[in-house]
Amino acid sequence: MNQSNGDAEAKFGADEPLTTKEGWRRFVDRQPIAPEGHNPATLDLLTEAERDMVNETRRAYHADLPLANTPTIQKVISTARLMLQLNRNQVSARRGLIVSGESGTGKTTALTLLGRTHERHIRRRFPHDAHRLPVLYVTVPPASTARMLAMEFARFLGLSFTGRVNITDIVDAVCHTAARTGVELVLVDELHNLNLATRAGAEVSDQLKYFAERLPATFVYAGIDVEAAGLFTGVRGRQIAGRFTVIPATAFAYGTGEQREQWRALIATLESTLRLHRHKIGSLVALDEYLYRRSGGMIGSLSHLVRGAAILAIEDGTEKLTRALLDIVPVDHAAERTAAADRSRRAIG
């Protein structure tokens, strides 16, 4: 292990995911800083060690490129901000939001960016209140029980329990701590892990509803195709449908001229964040149709392609994104399957 990695682990700890308040705060605080510009001539003047350090910084930057503000993200943030206002003085029956769509369409990104945007807003309003936790982020565990879900809430807040504590004590501690720390927005990810057709799933749904009644907060859920999963069927489903607005997270389309312009605008935004010495702005946008075929219009797959190719361009010294380099970057199975289907249609046509 090198010294820098050791320092990072010591600073951040070994287990600080987004589902802990420490990991969440680190995410909110993080501001990707573009590395200083170096042209090939100035790079040649650096020692090998200095050049390696510069390139390592650039690789790390491109691995975590700033996120593009997509229409879905914009709609999620604007709708949730309105609901936060409408729910502020409600004592019950608060309205919520569900982000639903296929894998890779940016649901978790929209959810976490909403949380970061809101928390930064609250920090500006209360700059000296270091103990305030305006946002709580949890995921629904696979095969979850009501107790498991309650423990996820407790884990985020840093609550620990000794002995055989019952679920009522856990829930009471969560609600008390959340109220004391000013939780206003609760983000629940992986909602598709909730199966209302099972007794355990129904109990988890009831637990979420109970938290929503006890906590003076707006709840926003995200999951894969939650409508198809039966979340809105039955008595419990109808209760959810009556209180929650659904925002679909979909892949970008490429059929009309307007849709293609939106796709190109997304690529242009990603391209503007690149810090490659020989890359010509506009050359990536010119590959828009190719990028659409490779990614299937999924923002997650597109981001993976661009970030991966940028790292390869630094490593091989070409310092620019080309189709040949993008061809090397593997994409996820869903995007690969979409691309294969597109190739088949073209061959038949």
Report yes or no on 341 lying in a domain.
Answer: yes
Domain boundary residue among 222, 248, 274?
A: 248
**CATH number for the domain harbouring residue 177:** 3.40.50.300
Highest mean pLDDT among 60-64, 92-96, 171-175, 275-279: 171-175
| Residue range 184-204, pLDDT digits in tens | 999 999 999 988 888 998 899
Report yes or no on 16 lying in a domain.
Answer: no
pLDDT higher than 60, residue 2: no
Half-sphere exposure of 164 (CA within 13 A, CB side): 0
Domain hosting 34: range is 30-66+254-348
User: Which pLDDT belongs to residue 236?
Assistant: 75
Report yes or no on 56 lying in a domain.
Answer: yes
* 106 and 239 assigned to the same domain: yes
| Residue range 273-291, pLDDT digits in tens | 999 999 999 999 999 999 9
- Alpha-carbon Rg for the chain in angstroms: 23
Domain boundary residue among 191, 217, 248?
A: 248
Q: Mean pLDDT of all residues in the chain?
A: 88
* 235 and 94 assigned to the same domain: yes
Report yes or no on 8 lying in a domain.
Answer: no
* 49 and 89 assigned to the same domain: no
Tell me the CA end-to-end span of the chain in Å, nearest whole number. 54
- Longest Cα–Cα distance of the chain, Å, equals 70
pLDDT higher than 70, residue 13: no
Contact 158, 20 (CB under 8 A): yes
* 156 and 236 assigned to the same domain: yes
User: Which pLDDT belongs to residue 349?
Assistant: 47
Domain boundary residue among 248, 274, 289?
A: 248
Q: Which of 1-5, 40-44, 118-122, 177-181 has the weakest average pLDDT?
A: 1-5
* 221 and 127 assigned to the same domain: yes
* 53 and 91 assigned to the same domain: no
Report yes or no on 20 lying in a domain.
Answer: no
* 225 and 115 assigned to the same domain: yes
Please give the Cα distance from 135 to 80 (Å, whole number).
Answer: 13
* 244 and 261 assigned to the same domain: no
Higher pLDDT, 234 or 135: 135
* 212 and 174 assigned to the same domain: yes
| Residue range 211-220, pLDDT digits in tens | 999 999 999 9
Question: Which amino acid is it at 84?
Answer: L
Higher pLDDT, 66 or 108: 108
Half-sphere exposure of 73 (CA within 13 A, CB side): 17
Report yes or no on 203 lying in a domain.
Answer: yes
Q: What's the pLDDT band for 5 if we cut at 50, 70, 90?
A: very low
Q: How many residues does the chain have?
A: 349
DSSP string, 92-121: S---EEEEEE-TTSSHHHHHHHHHHHHHHH
Please give the Cα distance from 125 to 183 (Å, whole number).
Answer: 14
Report yes or no on 132 lying in a domain.
Answer: yes
* 193 and 272 assigned to the same domain: no
Q: How many domains does the chain have?
A: 2
Contact 326, 287 (CB under 8 A): yes
Contact 278, 318 (CB under 8 A): yes
Residue with tokens 């307007």: 258
Please give the Cα distance from 289 to 293 (Å, whole number).
Answer: 6
* 165 and 215 assigned to the same domain: yes
* 266 and 330 assigned to the same domain: yes
Tally of CB atoms within 10 A around 2: 8
Report yes or no on 3 lying in a domain.
Answer: no
Degrees, nearest 5: CA angle 341-343-347 = 115
